[in-house]
Amino acid sequence: MRRGRRSRIDYPVPPASEITPKNLAVSRRKVLTTGATLFGGAMAAPLLRATADDWKARIQAAEKTDFKVDDDPTPRQRATSYNNFFEFGTRKEQPYMRAHRMETDPWSVTIAGEVERPGEYALEDILAPHDFEQRIYRHRCVEAWSKVIPWIGFPLGDLIERFEPTSRAKYVAFETLVDEDVMPGVARGILDWPYREALTIEEAVHPLTLLAVGMYDDVMPPQCGAPLRLVVPWKYGYKGIKSIVRIEFTEERPECLWELEQPEEYGWYGNVNPNVDHPRWDQSRERRIGELGRRETELYNGYAELVADLYPEGPDAYW
């Protein structure tokens, strides 16, 4: 029924110079210090604002951007009751039923590794200088289902720039909270926690890559990764790590949890690619949550035009 149906995405296309990682490769420091054009207004903001930032109050005021897709967003109830957050259990509804027990306020994030300003920062301070925006992205899970989500957040690149990675920073690694008191999947040790994910620095500063603090005009529900999660719309959902407590810059490629667990099923890059077959799920199609039948899956989840330059050897070499 729906096969063959493709939805056009609609987004402000940044000039190629802004999205090629070559800038960074040539002279990352230069880009980082003269990055005002690349990163918008974030440079003007002080590193840390001393005042307590009421960031939750700023969520509803988030600017609606032109990042959208043709399809309607998935109804909020569906999107927030069907989640993979294995710390809370492997069934899709378990995060919805259990994640509210997670304490997300106060929250702090450790910035570590190859960076000029390491430290443990309160979430308010992390968020204070960043203006939030709404972006409607497709979300494609490696399990061959998908959603369309109106996220609220800011480009990860803006944050990275503030903390000044050194020239040795080639990768950015993330970790999720571990709390066995409220996380049954952690208490039972079903995976080698903590949840760890990583991006190349070029992927991390790509303008599409978002740190999200909310969705559907509201704060992030706990089951979706409150208070701070990663959104990388051209990658499978497992790359979009939830409830981030640590961001580390590294020279070596970090190992990721799913990659270690099942390397043949969860590639390090995790780029959405209908042509790279998967042992368990046919990746050429996907079921939009709540629909019958399947839609066609697009290369890089439909964002090929914006991200193909990140992968010079062609999509199939980065899976």
Partner 1 sequence: MTTRRIWIRLYRWLALMAAVAPAVWLAWRAWAGRLGADPVETLLHTTGSVAFVLLLATLALGPVARLAGYGWLAAPRRWLGILTCLWAAGHFGVWLGLDQFFAWGFAWQEFQGRAYLWWGAGALVILLMLGVTSTDGWQRRLGPGVWTGLHRLSYVAAVAALIHIHLQTRADYLLVYVYTGGLAVLIAARLAAALGLGWRKRIS
Scan residues 220-279 and list those touching partner 1 (CB under 8 A). Answer: 261-262, 277, 279
Per-residue CA distances from 246 to 140, 254, 256, 282 (Å): 24, 13, 14, 33
Residue ranges of alpha helices (H) inside 135-292 are 156-163, 184-187, 201-204, 257-261
Return d(Cα 190, Cα 227) in angstroms, integer. Answer: 24
Residue keyed to tokens 């949840």: 195
Q: Based on the number of CB atoms within 10 Å of its own CB, is 188 exposed (0-12), middle (13-18) or buried (19 or more)?
A: exposed
112 part of the interface to partner 1, by CB under 8 A: no
Question: Rule CB under 8 A: is residue 290 a binding residue for partner 1?
Answer: yes
Candidate residues 280, 305, 312, 316; the one interacting with partner 1 per rule CB under 8 A? 280
CB–CB of 137/237 below 8 Å? no
- Tell me if 79 contacts partner 1 by CB under 8 A: yes
Shortest CB 105 distance to partner 1, Å = 26
> Which is it for the CA torsion 144, 95, 160, 253, positive or negative?
negative
* 193 vs 318 by CB, closer to partner 1: 193
User: How many residues make contact with partner 1 (CB under 8 A)?
Assistant: 32
* Among 285, 304, 308, 309, contact with partner 1 (rule: CB under 8 A): 285
Q: Is 130 in the site for partner 1 (CB under 8 A)?
A: no
What tokens appear for 177 in the block? 């909270």
Q: Is 191 in the site for partner 1 (CB under 8 A)?
A: yes
The stretch near partner 1 (CB under 8 A) out of 33-41, 89-97, 118-126, 302-310 is 89-97
Find where tokens 């571990």 sit. 178
Separate counts of helices (H) and strands (E) for the chain: 12, 15
At residue 231, the 3 state secondary structure works out as strand
Shortest distance (Å) from residue 319 CB to partner 1: 16
Cβ 97 to partner 1, closest distance in Å? 12
The least CB distance from residue 18 to partner 1, in Å, is 36
10 Å CB burial of residue 23 (0-12, 13-18, 19+) is middle
The residue with tokens 């294995």 is 86
Q: Among residues 3, 5, 22, 64, which is the contact residue for partner 1, using CB under 8 A? A: 3
Shorter beta-carbon distance to partner 1: residue 74 or 209: 74
User: Contacting partner 1 (CB under 8 A), which of 23, 170, 284, 304?
Assistant: 284
User: Looking at beta carbons only, is 57 or 292 nearer to partner 1?
Assistant: 292
Within 58-77, the residues that bind partner 1 by CB under 8 A are 77
> Which spans of this chain sit near partner 1 (rule: CB under 8 A)?
1-3, 77-79, 81-82, 86, 89-90, 92-93, 145, 185, 188, 190-191, 261-262, 277, 279-280, 282, 284-285, 287, 289-290, 292-294
